[in-house]
Structure formats: structure tokens, C-alpha cells
Amino acid sequence: MIPKRHVRSALARNTIKRRWREAFRRRREAWATEFGGADLVIRMHTAPSPRPAFDASAILTTLTERLRARGASGRALPRGAS
């Protein structure tokens, strides 16, 4: 979910969503194996960095490592976690 207040342009919001989907698609099998096929909902609380620096794959890797550390308890990560 990308609020319009963070990214005004529909084109930019859709680009960011496509990057997230592609990063998740590349890890789909590993995600299903490790986390039992749980869905991932990403909600942006702050505006992303400029387009060239935004790397959904690196952010998804960080989130995956944090979930592993938490034991994949199914609880949401705290606000502001990235």
C-alpha cells in the first residue's frame, strides 16, 4: 500500500508496486518453504528514497532476515520497521 501523500504520481506508485511484486516473485519458492506460504503486506509509512536508489529486493531481503530473527511468529513488525 502506497499512500498518495507519500508518492503523488500514479506512475511512480505503480512503478514501486511492480518492483515489490517482482522482488517477491523472485523469492516466492523460498518464502513458501520458509514461512509456509504466508502473505506479505507492505505498507509505506514514509516516502521512499529517489527512484534510482529504491531497491525493493534489498528491502525484502532485510525484512526476510528480520522475520527469521523473530521466529516468524506471525506478528506484525513494529511501525517504522524497514
Who wins on pLDDT, 73 or 3?
A: 3
Instruction: State the pLDDT at residue 62.
Output: 85
Who wins on pLDDT, 80 or 10?
A: 10
Instruction: State the pLDDT at residue 13.
Output: 87
Instruction: State the pLDDT at residue 80.
Output: 54
Q: How far apart are CA 80 and CA 47, in angstroms?
A: 12
State the chain's maximal CA–CA distance in angstroms: 37
Instruction: State the pLDDT at residue 60.
Output: 83
Cβ atoms within 10 A of the Cβ of 68, count? 11
Q: Is the pTM of this model over 0.75?
A: no
